[in-house]
Chains A and B, each alone.
Chain A
């Protein structure tokens, strides 16, 4: 019994730590939201939905790359995030990183499109340290929050 109690505690703590987003099964997804995403990404696979406030966040694979998308309640795709290769980063950003974080290594690189503007999210690593940065395509630091 004590083991069970322990597990329940662990689970409870675990779920509370994931914050305000909660997983939603496909059957419980509003049709409008799903169809909004599907018309844009018809061949999405391994689709998983989470509810984030009044927005829905979808994680899926599309053309063999990892994607994430924010969809509002009317089915409009508000933002799309895709993993890209470090070599695909625009030159200004690469230069910027070399100067401001020269002894860091590039880890994850993501391209974010929101309201027609394109941003790049970069995770930089150094021993025991990790920095997350958002850049515009011109290489300037953006004030936008990092979309995890």
Chain B
């Protein structure tokens, strides 16, 4: 549930309670006010009738409500003394309405010329159920109106207020430590959001600094290793050519040479990875991938033939990509090499290129590989000691750089598929 809706829901509930309470109080106040004014009116009528009776004694003959709002009858003084002014709600049959209507009735006693008279006065009443109904409806409209206002406010005002927060979250989602985009916190006049942004920015800057220094260290280390490795290799080769060497010594020198060469490959791959991740291949051009695939497969022809591997290719010539040509080459090379190295004698490799995918299928060990770890550096599915375990890591790095996705599937064979779009 979104924060805005949370606020709205709470408000709606609170409003309902508050409005109900308010309506009750308001209703009784209204009723009180209405009764007050009705009773005041009756009081006034009473005085008027009494004054009229003083001037015109025929008023005292009014025995019924027939054509007036009062009736008078003489009563005994002893009884008259006990009367207090009494206001009542009652029903009275109305000729014009042909129905019983609620009326307010005032009963009082006055004395004129030593004779006591009981007088009853009536006035029509507001119908309470009508009042309640009206109030309820108007209240319902008020509630709905308030809710609508609240929703409007939330969706316009609060959204605007919370905008920096959402922007921050959005930027954080997109942020990558190895990304080229630096993180900037969104500007906000609201102190808390500004603080949040600044705090996150500082945190990320620290992380970035650490990450950068680590990366530089790796680059430097592998770069500095190149020279001694090259020198060692050279010297060993010279040593191997010296005349008075025994068979055993030669074998050992050969072993050392092999290991040093592997170390050199490792180093080169690591350097390449760093370079890719640092985006040090800026130049891009539109290239046809089928040409690249063809040349790579030609380069590996000998090795494929040596392992007696059946190669099938279906190459669509409508796959044009905008990318660095060296990296395109490296992508294909590493995929093909991977399919070749982990293959079995007399196996098969199938290369399929469509407009948006490159799929390489190959036979190999029966067990599937862990798809999560497959693209990690130095992960080796097999114990082939010639592989550096960096090939697929390089492939993955190139894919990440250009926003391609790469998937691994294992059915009867191993399938690697790169989606360009």
Contact = CB atoms under 8 A, between A and B. Distances in A.
Contacts of B84: 27-31
A73 B109 CA distance: 12
A139 interface: no
B85 A42 contact: no
A30 B116 CA distance: 13
Interface of A: 26-32, 34-36, 38-39, 42, 73-76
A27 B81 CA distance: 14
Interface in B341-381: none
A142 B114 CA distance: 32
Interface in B44-90: 46-48, 50-51, 54, 77, 80-85
Contact of B111 (A29, A32, A42): A32
Contact of B47 (A28, A30, A42, A74): A42
Interface string B113-125: 0101000000000
B108 interface: yes
A36 B85 contact: no
A121 to B, nearest CB: 29
Contact of B85 (A34, A39, A74, A76): A34
Contacts of A42: 47-48, 51
Nearest to B83: A31
A26 B39 CA distance: 13
Contact of A75 (B47, B51, B85, B110): B110
Nearest to B118: A31
A26 B108 CA distance: 13
Nearest to B106: A31
A141 B111 CA distance: 36
A39 B47 CA distance: 6
A26 B80 CA distance: 17
A36 B51 contact: no
Contact of A31 (B48, B77, B108): B108
Q: Which of B48, B54, B111, B114 has the most CB of A within 10 A?
A: B111
Interface string B401-417: 00000000000000000
A46 to B, nearest CB: 14
A26 to B, nearest CB: 8
Contacts of B109: 30-32, 35
Given A27-B85, A29-B85, A32-B81, A74 B111 contact: yes
The 10 A-B pairs at the shortest CB distance, nearest first, are namely A35-B110, A31-B109, A31-B108, A31-B83, A75-B111, A42-B47, A39-B50, A31-B85, A38-B47, A32-B109
Contact of B83 (A27, A30, A73): A30
A58 to B, nearest CB: 14
A36 to B, nearest CB: 7
Contacts of B54: 39
A39 B54 CA distance: 9
Contacts of A38: 46-47, 50
Q: Which of A27, A31, A42 has the most CB of B within 10 A?
A: A31
7 contacts: A29-B84, A34-B108, A35-B50, A35-B109, A39-B51, A42-B51, A74-B111
B51 A31 contact: no
A74 B109 CA distance: 10
A26 B40 CA distance: 13
Interface in B110-149: 110-111, 114, 116
